[in-house]
Amino acid sequence: MAVDELDTRILRLILEQPRTSVREYARILGVARGTLQARLDRLEREGVITGTGPKLSPAALGHPVLAFVHIEVTQGHLDEVGDALAAVPEIVEAFSMTGGGDLLTRVVARDNGHLEDVIQRLIQLPGVVRTRTEMALRERVPHRLLPLVESMGRAAAAEK
């Protein structure tokens, strides 16, 4: 979906000030509340805005260890293993992949021993052939989308 300059300004604002009201967003942006609401509804309907909840910190919740676990799966068991991963609370994300493994998971843990326990649990899942774990040392670029949104907004403005 293409975003225009106003969409870009709206997305920047909700990313930077997520707890502000729609009325206040409209005032800041200098647009009618109805216009803003219509834009927000369209962005949600198109799947650009996928949630409005708080961002939680696993480290602050007592799980400071972050690892990426590649999982190789027996052929034909990808869906079964994927479903089983959803039952492991320490897995915060899982993706089907190409390359060195079939699944890539983001795993959080209390400490290294806990991480080992989680990995042992994964190894025992039916259909899992092997795992390979890489531990994160420090986050260098936090999850972000604003630079992408701004780039799209600049491209849309340049097309005018």
H or E element at residue 65: strand 65-73
The confidence score (pLDDT) of residue 138 equals 95
Evaluate whether residue 99 is within a structural domain: yes
User: What CATH number should be reported for the domain holding residue 126?
Assistant: 3.30.70.920
Evaluate whether residue 158 is within a structural domain: no
Q: Is the pLDDT of residue 1 over 80?
A: no
Q: Is the pLDDT of residue 101 over 90?
A: no
> Could you tell me if 113 and 143 are in contact, meaning their C-beta atoms sit under 8 angstroms apart?
no
Q: Which domain holds residue 90?
A: 58-135
Evaluate whether residue 147 is within a structural domain: no
The confidence score (pLDDT) of residue 152 equals 86
Burial (CB count <10 Å: 0-12, 13-18, 19+), residue 93:
exposed
127 and 87 housed in the same domain: yes
84 and 50 housed in the same domain: no
Beginning with the edge strand found earlier in the chain, give each strand of the sheet holding 91-96 in spatial order.
91-96, 103-109, 65-73, 128-135
User: What CATH number should be reported for the domain holding residue 44?
Assistant: 1.10.10.10
102 and 62 housed in the same domain: yes
Q: How many independent structural domains does the chain possess?
A: 2
- Residue pLDDT, tens place only, 125-159: 999 999 999 999 999 999 888 899 888 888 877 88
The confidence score (pLDDT) of residue 85 equals 97
Both tokens assigned to 119: 């990995």
78 and 40 housed in the same domain: no
17 and 77 housed in the same domain: no
36 and 93 housed in the same domain: no
Evaluate whether residue 27 is within a structural domain: yes
Q: How many CB atoms lie within 10 A of CB 8?
A: 20
The confidence score (pLDDT) of residue 99 equals 85
Among candidate residues 69, 5, 67, the one with its CA nearest the CA of residue 39: 5
Among candidate residues 75, 25, 84, the one with its CA nearest the CA of residue 49: 25
130 and 62 housed in the same domain: yes
Give, in degrees to the nearest 5, the angle at Cα 6 between 5 and 9: 90
The confidence score (pLDDT) of residue 59 equals 95
126 and 72 housed in the same domain: yes
At 13, give phi and psi (nearest 5°).
-65, -45
Which residues have a Cβ under 8 Å from the Cβ of 121 and sit 6 or more positions away?
A: 88
> Could you tell me if 82 and 94 are in contact, meaning their C-beta atoms sit under 8 angstroms apart?
yes
46 and 114 housed in the same domain: no
- Residue pLDDT, tens place only, 37-96: 999 999 999 999 998 878 889 999 999 999 999 999 999 999 999 999 999 999 999 999
